[in-house]
């Protein structure tokens, strides 16, 4: 049922637009893998999905499903199923007939199509809802039905276009759990568009980060956070620490001092920006021992902002600024001196300019 998917320098220029909506996007998704396409509004995420679904024709580039080019193949023959942000349940059909839609248009007898649909309603934990009109569902239930309807089409690739962004946080968490359960049971190939980093991290195996129609990085969630390939990636992933400097002989020199590249990594020589996740920065009392593999930097607390159970603190190290998060109960006050321990393995150097 699941298929692999590859995009080969996919480009889309809308009529009358100056900049392309998609600019040479290439990536691949293995069969049974869940890829999240992450990016800010207007980055071209949905354009990728619409091109894959066949709803918009790309200006150039290829889309390969199991190695076969699907250019010119009508959407209904591509074996994709799409779940949009709005559930788009057909209002003239009952919940069950919505889920049975794909089987019905494929020519299956009504009784079989409905029996099949019932299984998928069970899968999304809505057994017994089949006879209801779709207007009798809550927002979360509607989206569950939409997912059941898409899965019942036995898609080779399941396309999800910000499917949970209209739901409240609790429901969204439920839906993430549901999606993981579906992945375990059916192992579908999923391409999901989202603007939510946490959602991408929870649901996806790998993430493709888009910005202004370009693919910035296609990698595992962990590497996107810890090994961004560009400053834009670090910023889009919520990175807050940037230290300009210069790399010489594999050692980056900045206001923090000299930091050698972690084992197995090599940094390009010349000017470079050191980026570190603020989550990796550990604030320790003065004169505490420096653990192995850590870089110790003496700092002064410059600012403290309450964030519920956590507190964000800014740390001054000469001219440079570091950021860290500590439990709200830590009695660190502005002006206090401390030592920060930064794991060398958490450090990455990216080119100085935003490209």
Partner 1 sequence: MAMMIPYGERVTPDDRTVAARPLMRPRPAGRTLRIVVASLLAVWFALPLVPLLLWSVASRWSAPAALPTEWGFDGLAAAVTAGAVPAFGRSLVLGLVVAAVATPLGAMAARALARGAVPAPRLVSGILLAPLALPAFVAVMGLTIVLLRARVPGLIGVVILLVAAALPYTVYTMRVAYAAHDLAYEEEARTLGASRGHVLWRVHLPLVAPGLARAAFLAFLVGWSDYVVTVLVGGGTIVTLPLLVASFAGGVGNDAVVAVLSLSAIVPPLVLLLGLGRFGRRYPTARYLTGPTASRSPKGAP
Interface with partner 1 (CB under 8 A)? 53-55, 74-82, 84, 86, 88, 90-92, 101-102, 104-106, 132-133, 135-138, 141, 149-150, 153, 159
| C-alpha to C-alpha distance for 331 and 283, rounded to whole angstroms | 12
Cβ 20 vs Cβ 174: under 8 Å: no
Q: Which residues contact 232 (CB under 8 A, 6 or more apart)?
A: 211, 216, 354, 355
Return the number of the residue (91 or 327) whose C-beta is nearest partner 1: 91
User: Least CB distance from residue 147 to partner 1, whole Å?
Assistant: 12
User: Least CB distance from residue 150 to partner 1, whole Å?
Assistant: 7
User: Least CB distance from residue 163 to partner 1, whole Å?
Assistant: 12
User: Least CB distance from residue 88 to partner 1, whole Å?
Assistant: 5
Return the number of the residue (80 or 121) whose C-beta is nearest partner 1: 80
Bridge partners of residue 333, in order along the sequence = none
Torsional sign, CA 329, 335, 341, 344: positive
Count the Cβ atoms, other than its own, within 10 Å of residue 303. Answer: 12
User: Least CB distance from residue 159 to partner 1, whole Å?
Assistant: 7
Return the number of the residue (122 or 131) whose C-beta is nearest partner 1: 131
Return the number of the residue (12 or 240) whose C-beta is nearest partner 1: 12
Coil, strand or helix: which one is 230? coil
Residue 309 carries which DSSP code?
Answer: T
Cβ 96 vs Cβ 87: under 8 Å: no
Return the number of the residue (21 or 301) whose C-beta is nearest partner 1: 21
Axis crossing angle, helix 169-186 with helix 139-152, rounded to the nearest 10:
20
Torsional sign, CA 92, 97, 98, 102: negative
What is the distance in angstroms between the CA of the first residue and the CA of the last residue of the chain? 39
User: Least CB distance from residue 86 to partner 1, whole Å?
Assistant: 7
Q: How far is CA 251 from CA 123, 248, 272, 289, 317, in A?
A: 53, 5, 11, 23, 19
Return the number of the residue (144 or 277) whose C-beta is nearest partner 1: 144
User: Least CB distance from residue 346 to partner 1, whole Å?
Assistant: 42
Select from 224, 243, 272 the least CA-distant residue to 39: 224
Return the number of the residue (101 or 225) whose C-beta is nearest partner 1: 101
User: Least CB distance from residue 313 to partner 1, whole Å?
Assistant: 43
Cβ 100 vs Cβ 113: under 8 Å: yes
Cβ 29 vs Cβ 6: under 8 Å: yes
Return the number of the residue (86 or 214) whose C-beta is nearest partner 1: 86
């Amino acid at each position: 049922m699941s298929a692999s998917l590859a995009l080969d320098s996919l480009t889309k220029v809308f009529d009358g637009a100056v900049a392309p909506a998609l600019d040479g996007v290439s990536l691949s998704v293995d069969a049974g893998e869940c890829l999240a396409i992450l990016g800010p509004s207007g980055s071209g995420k949905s354009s990728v999905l619409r091109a894959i679904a066949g709803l918009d024709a790309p200006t150039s580039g290829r889309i390969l499903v199991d190695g076969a080019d699907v250019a010119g193949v009508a959407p209904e023959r591509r074996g994709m199923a799409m779940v949009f942000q709005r559930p788009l349940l057909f209002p003239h059909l009952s919940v069950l007939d919505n889920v049975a839609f794909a089987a019905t248009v494929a020519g299956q007898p009504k009784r079989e199509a409905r029996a099949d649909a019932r299984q998928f309603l069970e899968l999304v934990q809505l057994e017994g809802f089949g006879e209801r009109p779709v207007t009798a569902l809550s927002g979360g239930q509607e989206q569950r039905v939409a997912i059941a309807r898409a899965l019942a089409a036995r898609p080779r690739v399941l396309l999800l276009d910000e499917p949970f962004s209209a739901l409240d946080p609790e429901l969204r968490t439920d839906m993430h759990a549901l999606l993981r359960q579906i992945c375990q049971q059916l192992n579908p190939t999923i391409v999901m568009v989202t603007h939510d980093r946490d959602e991408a991290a929870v649901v996806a195996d790998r993430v493709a980060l888009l910005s202004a129609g370009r693919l910035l990085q296609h990698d595992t969630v962990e590497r996107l956070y810890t090994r961004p390939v560009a400053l834009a990636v670090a910023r889009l992933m919520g990175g807050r620490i940037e230290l300009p400097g210069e790399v010489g002989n594999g050692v980056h020199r900045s206001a923090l001092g000299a930091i050698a590249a972690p084992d197995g990594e090599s940094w390009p020589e010349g000017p470079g920006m050191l980026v570190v996740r603020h989550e990796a920065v550990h604030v320790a009392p003065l004169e505490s021992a420096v653990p192995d593999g850590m870089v110790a930097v003496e700092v002064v607390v410059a600012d403290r902002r309450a964030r519920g159970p956590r507190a964000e603190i800014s740390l001054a190290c000469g001219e440079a600024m570091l950021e860290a998060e500590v439990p709200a109960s830590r009695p660190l006050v502005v002006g206090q001196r401390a030592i920060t321990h930064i794991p060398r393995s958490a450090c990455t150097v990216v080119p100085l300019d935003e490209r």
